[in-house]
Amino acid sequence: MIRPFALAVALVAGGAAAAQAPEPRVPAGMQWLYGSGEGGAATIQAYRAFRDHVLARSRHRPRDSVVLADGATLAAPRFIPCGRRPPAVVLDVDETALQNLGYEYDDAGHPGRPYDQERWNRWERTGANAVAPTPGAVAALQAIRRAGVTVIFNSNRLAAAAAENEAAIESAGLGPARHGRTLYLQGDAAPGSAKDPRRAAISARYCVIAMAGDQLGDFSDLFNARDLAVPDRRRAATGGRIAALWGNGWFVLPNPVYGSGLRGTIDEVFPAGRRWTDPQEGNR
């Protein structure tokens, strides 16, 4: 079988030989997240923890939400109080509630091609039938809604493509999603990709008892501070009082395919005190 992208290459090249070029190797992160039993097990596990936590919290209304209050810091987190507002959960969409299989399939077929925002925008507008729910998500969101908790999506997809984005979420079996009510998109509440203004708008109406996302910005924009070096950002997420939130109000989905977790030089990723050099290397 000739895949569409291989065919396109062959047509551009004007010959048949290119169609028989070896298949591009799928990046390891895609193999793990989209293709492996390990990756599927990891997201099922995350959604089980999310569901169990939400069902337990919905029975005993908490005093505070899990949304950081204005003026809070990562070192000294404080949370928006719930008052008497009804319970909700807030989830990111891409690689949290759904997996962009069609887009990543196209990307895997073009190794080395840089990210293109316009291409992503075309995907938002035409890809609704080529997504899949993240394993574990559909059953968890159904159970959460049955418990009377509202499910709200907070995504950086475009408000200009709201109808298509609602359709993508619903075609994956994750809906309902209604823009302005249960779906917040880029530009809602404030211009730009920061999600804190949208979390504040949601918190004005709901008590947010849990959040889920694949990027730290799905929990607080404080993690996206420009001066936060890679090792400091890891320490901020895994130390102090923030560490106690993971699996306990904040639920992270693994995403080794793209995003703010895929940064860092060798010196930033590997701490100075934990390095090793093969003692035989010089003898080869």
* Binding map of its own copies across residues 97-136, x = CB under 8 A, - = no contact: ----xxxxxx-xx--------xx--xx--xx--xxx--xx
**Tokens read off for 17:** 């030989």
**Rounded least distance, CB 211 to its own copies, Å:** 12
Helix-helix angle 117-126:101-108, to 10 degrees: 140
Q: What is the CA radius of gyration of the chain?
A: 21
Determine if 173 is a binding residue for its own copies (CB under 8 A): no
Q: Is 6 exposed, middle or buried (0-12, 13-18, 19+ CB in 10 A)?
A: middle
**Interface with its own copies (CB under 8 A), residue from 2, 15, 21, 38:** 38
**Rounded least distance, CB 155 to its own copies, Å:** 17
Determine if 34 is a binding residue for its own copies (CB under 8 A): yes
Question: Which residue type is seen at 67?
Answer: V
Q: Which is nearer to its own copies, 189 or 246 (CB)?
A: 246
Determine if 144 is a binding residue for its own copies (CB under 8 A): no
Residue 148 near residue 112, CB atoms below 8 Å: no
**Interface with its own copies (CB under 8 A), residue from 10, 18, 44, 158:** 44
Q: Is 125 exposed, middle or buried (0-12, 13-18, 19+ CB in 10 A)?
A: middle
Helix (H, G, I), strand (E, B) or coil at 121: helix
**Tokens read off for 58:** 């919905």
Determine if 58 is a binding residue for its own copies (CB under 8 A): no
Q: Which is nearer to its own copies, 119 or 178 (CB)?
A: 119
- Restricted to residues 203-242, the positions that interact with its own copies (CB under 8 A) are 214-216, 223, 230-231, 233-234, 236-238
Determine if 18 is a binding residue for its own copies (CB under 8 A): no
CA atoms 216, 105, 99, 32: torsion sign: negative
Is it true that the peptide bond before 176 is cis, omega within 30 degrees of 0?
yes
**Rounded least distance, CB 110 to its own copies, Å:** 8
Q: Which is nearer to its own copies, 82 or 253 (CB)?
A: 253
Element housing 185 (H / E): strand 183-186
**Rounded least distance, CB 201 to its own copies, Å:** 25
**Interface with its own copies (CB under 8 A), residue from 36, 75, 176, 192:** 36
Determine if 259 is a binding residue for its own copies (CB under 8 A): yes
**Rounded least distance, CB 8 to its own copies, Å:** 6
Helix-helix angle 162-171:117-126, to 10 degrees: 60
Determine if 79 is a binding residue for its own copies (CB under 8 A): no
CB atoms within 10 A of CB 104: 21
Distance CA 10, CA 5 (A): 9
**Interface with its own copies (CB under 8 A), residue from 19, 29, 77, 170:** 29
